[in-house]
Structure 1
């Protein structure tokens, strides 16, 4: 079974999410080609070629791929699809944006956010905010699959696959063009790949309290900062910090939930964390049902003490 894996990259390097999606792809079939489409993306392609299990890297470079626009990316994938039995991507913002369009162009049903590969056409995926796991068998001639990467280990490096450039000029005539990116910079780890995440919830009460009590603990631990949907909706934290079904799915080694009650949609985004610590003054809070360690305490007292102890 031949598989085309769409790489998630910044032109200089391939994200760890792609290495995890590669692990899933290799469980589906033994021949995996990686598509690196970008602008001046040779460095990312060479890094992808080093991932164990990659048979070939296809490098498409053109200005039309700037900003990971769905139209040109879907178009080049569709042009290559005839050679492959499956199209795979990590369930990142890029994969979620591009692969549904590819599935529509191929007239097949997409299988979204798989957490386990049972065979080349059968997968497990969460439904009902992660409260149930559905087994899905695709009967389509070509499978289009996104991977919830929290459930897979990244493929190691050590290979040296060939990098094959392809012409991409034909895909530049689309109805959308990339104008600019406004990316927030932070010295903290990226949320979806961090080994430690400290998250704050509605109980913090204000953006000032969020910064005053959550950020010092995160900085001492070298952790990424997350937030519940309630905290984001209230304006305590930026939208890109939201963890949950409608935010980002994380699975760090350590997840510290501070003042988060544990609504179902939040649990769907963090319950695969290796160790979960919950701090909440409500001992009946649902978060304690999934926590490995629970502290019934006022976060405004507990967090300064924790920061001081660190």
Structure 2
């Protein structure tokens, strides 16, 4: 049996480069990319995508839509790393640990949409707690996150590593219009009835995310407190290979969260920080925005899909 053909469309960006690096030495698949002279040739790109078994799209949203529209071969399966199809009902959400059976749904899907980096942390924290009834669906959720500058793609890398890097800001909050494109994705897959407030930021480091969600216990269900929230997350991810819940006794000893601590891995660490005196709970997710937040997630989904090929 011949090795499956995996075509990366857009292997020059931060995510595409990482995926290419992870796959290029594998012997269980044949990796296909286009030479520089053909990358903007729509005819050649259409030929390549229709000749492959699985296409991984690492493209801007508009280009990803065009790539999918060019598929006429019904056997082609797609992993889209753009945000184009993340809330589309015909696409399977590529977060294997989100719910029981999600990994199996990804394995058999024809169209898989990779989660956004920030939503991976937000949905990872919220979905089990809403499903268990600990957080009501109409809870007013506010999410704050800071990512390394590679989250901006090549533009971010150029700003912080290029000729003008000395002028790059050390820290910048953005999305001040509160209309970030990740908010609908978080709402849909977390199970919220209302759009969350989402405030992202970039720091002057290459990669890594810290995402936090602050909760007031008096607004939660009657039986919900820090211990109950932690127990729910620990149960949900007990068998997960890449999502880990920090034990409560360890979180009590933490004095700060380092967004870079899991860089170079495909893991995500979830933590619960309760303050019983004030009735507050802080939820946090730490992971590599180029690992579990992008390239690592795409390869995890690819492996699931290859197992069903």
Q: Please, what TM-score do these two structures have when normalized by structure 1? A: 0.35
Decide which structure has the larger Cα Rg and report it: 1
Q: Please, what TM-score do these two structures have when normalized by structure 2? A: 0.35
If each structure's strand is expressed as a fraction of its own residues, which one has the higher value?
1
